[in-house]
Structure 1
Amino acid sequence: MRRLLSGVALLALAGCGVPPHVAQKPVIDNPATQAAFREGDALQQAGAVSREDLPARWWHLYDDPVLDALEEQALAANTDLRVAQASLTRARAVTAAAEGQHEPDFAASFAAERARLSGESYLLTEPIPVSTLGTGSLEMSYQIDLFGRIKHSIEAARADEEATVATIGAVKVTLAADVARSYITICGANEDLELAEQAVELQGHALDVAKRLQAAGRTSTVEVTAAEGRYEQLRALVPVQKARAQAALYRLAYLMGRTPSEYPREAEGCKAVPQLKNPLPVGDGAALLRRRPDVRMAERHLAGATARIGVATSEMYPSVGIGISGGSSGFLSDLGQAAANMWAVGGLIHWNIPGAGARAKVRAAGADADAALARFDGVVLGALRETETALNAYAQDRDRTVAIIAAREAADKAADEARRLRAGGRSPLLADIGGRQGAVGAKASELSAREGLAQDQVTLFLALGGGW
């Protein structure tokens, strides 16, 4: 098992082969994990996606300067990112401490005292006079890493540090997606607000017509009451969209490390959902697994767990060290004189003969590595699942959006025809208003579909691991 896990830890994320003696391959080494995405074929044929690799700062694909600025400001000041950066500083310090075990240790001491020593301790019968005594020494010791304990400790520390780097990447990926989602929500809410206000205005006209018809005795009070109800229902939609936009602005402020009152005013003016002008680049499985920070993190945790097997194993063998010391001890006035000087050179072998406990630690480290390998495989499979699911949702919502756009175009045509009939005196005013209301409703449905499609794109960018 140790040989297996040592081989797995050397895997490159691009799917390099494992040493030939390894009987089991991790999931990342399966050719199917690195192939083209199953759900991407139909989208590529429709011109919605391409096999090009995803750029690091994918939000530039929207060609929106406001979104670009929001992303950069969030990446510079987000509090979660600051926490992750502090964790990396700590991990680097731990690595430096582990690497320091390869260096010799030095110690120096000096002491002076006024004392009377015991004569009998020197086999004398008379007392020793009170004297001023001093001691000075310099020591150097070095641990010889015969059995790899220090080497494996450094490997584990470096793997933990690299996993922390990947954690920062995961925070950046999530942060970039959250900023884009909030911005899309603001744009969609503002666009929805304009449509809601148009709908209120049209229903107000319809209510006025109904009241005039009722006053002329050409319709009943029921029709007026129903028109009033529809008018109030539409008015109720206005504050909903305002609240949705403001909540997203406050969310942006939080993501950018600001107070709610400091929300980005430049985002307030967006009134159109951002749209991609070119096919969305998705790459393939191999590119995905190289880019996803959680895959890298899991692989580094596996490397660290494998290195700790070596640490536990090395503790079953002797520790070997050498030391050199020199100094002077005696009357303070004689320090440095030949009679008071001393030195020593020697070695030390220390061995706690391993028992059941030491062997159990090795088995525990092996079990930790087994778990890390399973988690690594799970993260790889999860990354592929998330991407295929996001691609499928994007494909289905894209088809739905195409159908809704066709319905909106038909509603616009019907509204134009009703307007022409009204102008020619061949249709009542309410029919004209109704046609325009239908067109506004169709536009609202289209907007909802376009906003949902934009959110699907962000979900796909997140699944692809872009943004770090």
Structure 2
Amino acid sequence: MTAKLTYRSLILTAGCLAIAGCTVGPNYRQPSYPTPSAYRGADNSSVTSAASLADEKWAQVFAEPELQTLIRTALTNNYDLRIAAQHVLEQQAQVQITRAQQFPQITGGGTGIGASIPPVAGANIGSPLAFGSFNLGASWIPDFWGLYRRQTEAARAQLLAQTWAQRAVQLSLVQQVATAYLELRALDRQIEITRQTLNVRQDSVKLTETLERGGSAPLSDVRQAEQLLYTASSQLPQLEQQVQQQENALSYLLGANPGPVAHTDPNALTPPPQDVPTGIPSKLLARRPDIQQAEQTLIEANAQIGVARAQFFPQLSITASAGLGGNEFSNLFDISGKTIYGIGSLTQPIFEGGKLRGQLRLAKETEKEMVLSYQRAIAGAFRDVSNALIALNKQRAFREQQEKLVFAAQDATRLARVRYQGGAAAYLEVLTTDSTLYAAQLNLVGAQQGEALALVQLYSALGGGWE
């Protein structure tokens, strides 16, 4: 009875000490950062509105059915996103492993030794069992100083960091698929313009050849017309190469082998709406996955300071065991054969050559680095939003001017051809105006693509696309 009371008293005392224990190390406090009152490049209407483009689901922002299908496929099959999901599952298991250190470890087992001995000199052995035992053991290191609690806190922060990393991959994936699709549609439009230009220039070659045979135009006009024709025809294989390579890049994002991808939607390069809402800058810190990931990494580093501090304090280890034994099956579980014992040990670091202080210093310096990384992530987010807003506004102005240039170049080309056919101008004027028109048309497609991509970049910079 005395041994039983001593065992219970030991466990009760250790439990009370563990409950009364403290958690050493600093508690996390979010670092301050000077948040701007408005995004640079935003319209006045965007500043005053709390609504944000990032509040909308990606299917609402990218309304093209083809693009929606591609994004859904990528979100299901993309390898990077699936790997990021596995990282989350792995870290969930790691949290479980780390947290288990806070609890007692209980083991059970038994032994048996038996022998069958033939009769010797008329002596018979009643049982072949010579010895048997059954025992339960328990060991526990009470977390007085919060060592295991801080390790669990760090592991949970890693889990949240991996979760936010997965969301960052998803956001980036939506952006990459939308960007690749818009680039494909721009290439399609450039091929269409090139083929239309080829048809016109083929007609010009036929016209100059007819005039040259009739003596109304020199051979140089034919050569200049051929020069225009071959300039356009040489562009076509390069554009087709870019299309097929871009299809392969998009197929990779979809988790598929290289192959053709649907890209025929005529509204893909439609100008985005004006006065896109951007919301309040302070909300960006809670929405951007990369900022949240950086903060969780900072929380982990902060918890590691507590882990390093706890190493300076004594650690108590408690081990207890109880068992039953006997030399026959009949008395194996007899209570009179019980054994109970408990062992407690206390260890205190005295000299480790500066290892513990070095670990604490390393943890503190790492935490300072993570503060800077967190602040850098915030600064980069505000830069991304500002750049996207500036691009959206300037690309719109660029596209509007390019439309005017194309209109002027079309009319100039028409007038030059009329003047040439009437004998009032040399073919050099047709060559110059036609080249200007072709370049202006391709530049207009680039402007339309840039404006559409600016909206994609703004949506991603604001933290949309992962919810």
Q: Same fold (TM over 0.5)?
A: yes
User: Does structure 1 residue 397 correspond to structure 2 residue 395?
Assistant: yes
Deviation string 1:151-209 (CA, Å, 9 cap, x unpaired) is 10110000000000111111112111110111001111111111101100111111111
Partner of 1:123: none
SS at match of 1:349: strand
**TM-score, normalising length: structure 1:** 0.82
Deviation string 1:243-271 (CA, Å, 9 cap, x unpaired) is 2222222222111111113x43x325658
Contact 1:49 1:279 in 2 (8 A): no
Displacement of 1:144? 1.7
Report matched runs for 1:16-35 at 5 Å.
26=31, 29-31=32-34, 33-35=35-37
Displacement of 1:422? 10
SS at match of 1:282: coil
Distance 2:47 2:410 in 1: 26
Amino acid at match of 1:52: A
Deviation string 1:5-35 (CA, Å, 9 cap, x unpaired) is 946x332xxxxxxxxxxxxxx3xx234x242
Report matched runs for 1:202-213 at 5 Å.
202-213=200-211
Partner of 1:17: none
SS at match of 2:55: coil
Structure 1 residues 429, 183: CA separation in 2 closer, same or farther (over 3 Å shift)? farther
Structure 1 residues 240, 176: CA separation in 2 closer, same or farther (over 3 Å shift)? same
Report matched runs for 1:173-188 at 5 Å.
173-188=171-186
Identity rate, percent: 25
Structure 2 segments unaligned to the other structure (5+ residues): 1-22, 116-127
Amino acid at match of 1:95: V
- Equivalent of residue 40 in structure 2, options 35, 38, 41: 38
User: Does structure 1 residue 351 correspond to structure 2 residue 354?
Assistant: no
Contact 2:104 2:141 in 1 (8 A): yes
Structure 1 residues 455, 160: CA separation in 2 closer, same or farther (over 3 Å shift)? same
Cα RMSD (Å): 3.2
Partner of 2:101: 101
Deviation string 1:64-83 (CA, Å, 9 cap, x unpaired) is 12111211111111000111
Distance 1:85 1:345 in 2: 45
Partner of 1:138: 136
Report matched runs for 1:237-248 at 5 Å.
237-248=235-246
Structure 1 residues 305, 131: CA separation in 2 closer, same or farther (over 3 Å shift)? same
Amino acid at match of 1:335: L
Partner of 1:465: 463
Partner of 1:10: 29
Number of aligned positions between the proteins: 428
Partner of 1:300: 296
Partner of 1:119: none
Distance 2:59 2:419 in 1: 46
Distance 1:371 1:433 in 2: 61
Report matched runs for 1:280-295 at 5 Å.
280-295=276-291
Displacement of 1:409? 3.0
Amino acid at match of 1:318: P
Deviation string 1:369-398 (CA, Å, 9 cap, x unpaired) is 111112112222222223223322333322
Distance 2:257 2:323 in 1: 62
Distance 1:131 1:352 in 2: 48
Distance 2:437 2:448 in 1: 16
Distance 2:347 2:276 in 1: 62
SS at match of 1:258: coil
Distance 2:274 2:287 in 1: 22
Contact 1:49 1:280 in 2 (8 A): no
Displacement of 1:433? 10
Displacement of 1:427? 7.9
Partner of 1:22: none
Structure 1 residues 271, 181: CA separation in 2 closer, same or farther (over 3 Å shift)? same
Structure 1 residues 457, 147: CA separation in 2 closer, same or farther (over 3 Å shift)? same
Partner of 2:16: none
Distance 1:342 1:349 in 2: 24
SS at match of 1:144: coil
Report matched runs for 1:165-204 at 5 Å.
165-204=163-202
- Equivalent of residue 310 in structure 2, options 311, 314, 318: 314
Displacement of 1:63? 2.1
Distance 2:247 2:318 in 1: 64
**TM-score, normalising length: structure 2:** 0.82
Report matched runs for 1:320-399 at 5 Å.
320-333=316-329, 334-353=331-350, 355=352, 356-399=354-397
Structure 1 residues 267, 48: CA separation in 2 closer, same or farther (over 3 Å shift)? farther
Structure 1 residues 400, 219: CA separation in 2 closer, same or farther (over 3 Å shift)? same
Distance 2:289 2:463 in 1: 7
Displacement of 1:94? 0.6
Contact 2:228 2:431 in 1 (8 A): no
Structure 1 segments unaligned to the other structure (5+ residues): 12-25, 116-129
Report matched runs for 1:81-96 at 5 Å.
81-96=81-96
Partner of 1:15: none
Contact 1:207 1:224 in 2 (8 A): yes
Of 185-194 and 409-418, more deviation after overlay is shown by 409-418
Contact 2:272 2:451 in 1 (8 A): no
Partner of 2:120: none
Deviation string 1:408-434 (CA, Å, 9 cap, x unpaired) is 2333455677799999x8989988999
Amino acid at match of 2:29: L
Contact 1:48 1:280 in 2 (8 A): no
Partner of 1:452: 450
Partner of 2:7: none
Amino acid at match of 1:455: L
SS at match of 1:218: coil
Distance 1:272 1:303 in 2: 42
Displacement of 1:137? 0.6
User: Does structure 1 residue 226 correspond to structure 2 residue 224?
Assistant: yes
